[in-house]
Amino acid sequence: MRRWTATTGLVVRNRARMGARRLRLNFGQVLQLTVAATFAYGFCVYVLGHQMPFFAAVAAVVGIGPMLDRRLRRSMEIGFGAVLGVLFGELFVHVFGGGLWQLSVMLFLAVCLGMVMNSGAIFVTQLGIQSIYIVTVPVAMTDGAFSRTIDATVGASTAVLLAFITPSDARKRPRNQAANLLEEIALLLRETGDALRRSDPQAARRALARARDSQQYVDSWRAALRIAEEAARINARSRRYVAEVTRLARACEFADRSMRMLRVVLRRAVSVSENGPSDPLLAESAYQMAEAADLLRAALREGRDRIEAERKLTGVARTLRPTIAMHEDIEQTTMLLLLRPLVVDLLQAAGASNDEAQAALPTLEVEPETGALRYVEEADDAAEAAAGSAGGGASADEPASTDGPGAAGAEDADAREDRRDPGGV
């Protein structure tokens, strides 16, 4: 009972936190919706002289919508779907009158007409709903023939006009949504590190429950990118942001992969924590990736270069090699192997190519005798040391070689720094 209560409380807190964040993000949209509906209703009352322009406010509300993931084309479809539904209903009532059979026939025909005209489910639904209103609301409450169609047209036009004239930066919302997702990834990585460091399976389970409830961050980022891409096409002022929106879309893809991989990591962290203390490398790697995710979050939110986050993640990737303590623990070895694709996804979200991200990882192989994983370079170093001992040792005055993985890694880092994008993301 206590565990169930704790889990329920965690879910409620997460939902309340995400609900408050949604309200903050969509507050401007709610304000636009209110202004549009009020303006459309007032225009029909004080300019057109209509007594009850119900459909003016309805068309404005459904055209704008309360959420920012409503794209312009979708707003036009919904708004003018409502207008078409009102017009179709008024034509039907004008010819056949109102009644029960008229309602059933009119609704059937309206939905069929909507499916023929448009594949959008919301467009078809709006056409049917507005037709129902026309048949069921008494004609005596109207202000003349087709007055309700005029009201709906005013409301839908207000919604579309407001979408065109409202000033907005095509990059702002994708940047904010990117920062929200990376902030969540950083928090989950820290909770993973805490659970591993304290050997606390309950903390790992709580982090896993939170991670499973995080898909809306990815969905919101993708929706914001669709809006930004549309704005860049139709708004001349936003076209200069096309390159950055494209880079944000690529970062979104790999951040989504990172979140999915993090859920897998957390499931393994539960079993590792249940087995007792684990190698400090696992917790430290999670903490370091969390710091890198914070750097990436700040870079994406502010539109800066991501090279610092990439450099941090590259350093983390180079440490992901099995230790001696892991050779006897399959759970910890599996955990280490799961952290490797996670850091690769984060590196690609930071702008690295797949080849660069893979090259940052130490090369591993399976020992034929024991089946344990080992770091390939360590075996090579041991062979070279043995050869040096047999030959009497190397001269102390001989300079160290600059070739090898360390030098290559430094050259790769310098090459990545040289190709910084002047636009930055």
**Per-residue pLDDT, 415:** 42
In whole angstroms, give the CA distance from residue 10 to residue 8. 5
Helix (H, G, I), strand (E, B) or coil at 363: coil
Average model confidence (pLDDT) across the chain: 76
Instruction: Provide the pLDDT confidence category of residue 374 given band limits of 50, 70 and 90.
Output: confident
Rounded alpha-carbon distances, angstroms, from residue 398 to 372, 395, 401, 407: 35, 5, 9, 18
End-to-end CA distance of the chain: 48
Q: Closest by alpha carbon to 200, among 101, 266, 125?
A: 266
Q: Closest by alpha carbon to 299, among 346, 354, 230, 267?
A: 346
* pTM higher than 0.75: no
- Could you tell me what percent of the chain has a pLDDT over 90? 23
**Per-residue pLDDT, 66:** 52
In whole angstroms, give the CA distance from residue 201 to residue 180. 26
In whole angstroms, give the CA distance from residue 149 to residue 59. 10
Q: Closest by alpha carbon to 265, among 356, 197, 347, 343?
A: 343
Q: Which of 165-169, 297-301, 400-404 has the highest mean pLDDT?
A: 297-301
Instruction: Provide the pLDDT confidence category of residue 119 given band limits of 50, 70 and 90.
Output: low
Q: Are residues 182 and 212 in contact, defined by beta-carbon separation less than 8 angstroms?
A: no
DSSP letter for 397, please. Answer: T
**Per-residue pLDDT, 134:** 74
**Per-residue pLDDT, 419:** 39
- Could you tell me what percent of the chain has a pLDDT over 70? 72
For residue 324, count other CB atoms closer than 10 A to its CB: 9
| pLDDT(5) > 80 | no
Residue in this structure with the two tokens 């001989």, named with its chain if needed: 398
Where residue 351 falls (left for φ over 0; alpha for ψ -120 to 50; beta otherwise) is left
**Dihedral angle computed from the Cα positions of residues 31, 32, 37 and 41, in that order, rounded to the nearest 10 degrees:** 100
**Position with higher pLDDT, 395 vs 291:** 291
Q: Are residues 73 and 173 in contact, defined by beta-carbon separation less than 8 angstroms?
A: no
Window from 39-53, 195-209, 360-374 with minimum mean pLDDT: 360-374
CB neighbour class for 95 (10 Å; exposed up to 12, middle 13-18, buried from 19): exposed
Residue in this structure with the two tokens 């409301």, named with its chain if needed: 155
Give the tens place of pLDDT for each residue, 26-47: 677 778 778 888 888 898 888 8
Phi, psi of 52 (to 5 degrees): -135, 75
The set of residues, in sequence order, having a beta carbon less than 8 Å from that of 164 and lying 6+ positions away, is 72
In whole angstroms, give the CA distance from residue 345 to residue 258. 5
Cα-Cα-Cα-Cα dihedral sign, residues 191, 194, 196, 202: negative
**Position with higher pLDDT, 225 vs 406:** 225
DSSP letter for 65, please. Answer: -
Q: Closest by alpha carbon to 85, among 54, 102, 109?
A: 109
**Position with higher pLDDT, 310 vs 387:** 310
Reading the block at residue 53, the tokens are 């322009």
**Per-residue pLDDT, 239:** 64
Give the tens place of pLDDT for each residue, 134-166: 777 766 666 566 777 788 888 888 877 776 666
The set of residues, in sequence order, having a beta carbon less than 8 Å from that of 236 and lying 6+ positions away, is none
In whole angstroms, give the CA distance from residue 256 to residue 348. 11
In whole angstroms, give the CA distance from residue 172 to residue 178. 10
